[in-house]
Amino acid sequence: MSSMTIRVLIADDQPMLRAAFRMILGSQPDIEVVAETADGAAAVEEARRLRPDVCLVDIRMPKLDGLEVTRQLAGPGVPDPMNVLIATTFDLDEYVYTALRNGACGFLLKDGAPGLLTEAVRAAATGNSLISPSITVRLLSHMAPSRERPAEPPARGAAGAGAGPVRPAEPLTQRERDVVRLVARGRTNEEAAAELYVTLSTVKTHLANVQRKLAARNRVEIAAWAWETGLCGGGGRA
């Protein structure tokens, strides 16, 4: 994406936040804000018309909330899903879980530093990066099966279909499981490669294999699957 302009749509019902996002993103030479909307219905309409590289979407909006916007633009069954980046205050974590299952490829705290916003947009443009790892891990860790109460079936699997974590088309190898654990805990590909003493290309190959086996669209879904199955706590089976 370094030689291309990342086209961004901003959807937020607060004018001051839209203006702030536009100012921060517009100051970057590789990012262009192509539209901004104040409600979810307009966001879906404009996104489908303009096909931006990234849709920066608030959760709480009139007409359609960000969860439904995400489902319509990136959810299961969408033939050409877009990259949706959720902007949230995390006051209700369940909103974020649903957004993830609806196809969101990243999460952003509204009160985060400007540099994190541009980093998050660039990551979302690739469709395969977790941003703000400590926040994401905190959210995803709540998906881990509890050992203190009877297991409750999750609302959906990592890929958004069915009544529980998806079952891999083929068993994951031990090295693939190692890579998935690190990704689910917020490691970048480079950090995973360093911790496992393998090359960056090897990590990418393992992730591609896992993505195929899980029918996952990005590493966010892989991470969600790892937490839902208990793989991160050592108790999951893949």
Alpha helices in the chain (DSSP H): 15-26, 40-50, 66-74, 93-101, 114-126, 133-141, 174-184, 189-196, 200-214, 219-229
pLDDT of residue 76: 82
Q: What does the pLDDT average to over 131-153?
A: 54
**Stronger pLDDT, 60 or 133, i.e. the higher one:** 60
CA dist 99 → 37, 45, 56, 75 (Å): 19, 19, 13, 9
pLDDT of residue 3: 58
For 98-115, what is each residue's pLDDT tens digit?
887 888 888 777 777 777
- The band of 135, judged by pLDDT with boundaries at 50, 70 and 90, is low
pLDDT of residue 150: 38
CA of residue 194 relative to chain centroid, distance? 24
pLDDT of residue 63: 94
What is the pTM for the complete model shown? 0.68
Give the residue from 31, 42, 51, 144 showing the smallest Cα distance to 22: 31
pLDDT of residue 47: 97
For 37-71, what is each residue's pLDDT tens digit?
999 999 999 999 999 999 999 988 999 999 999 99
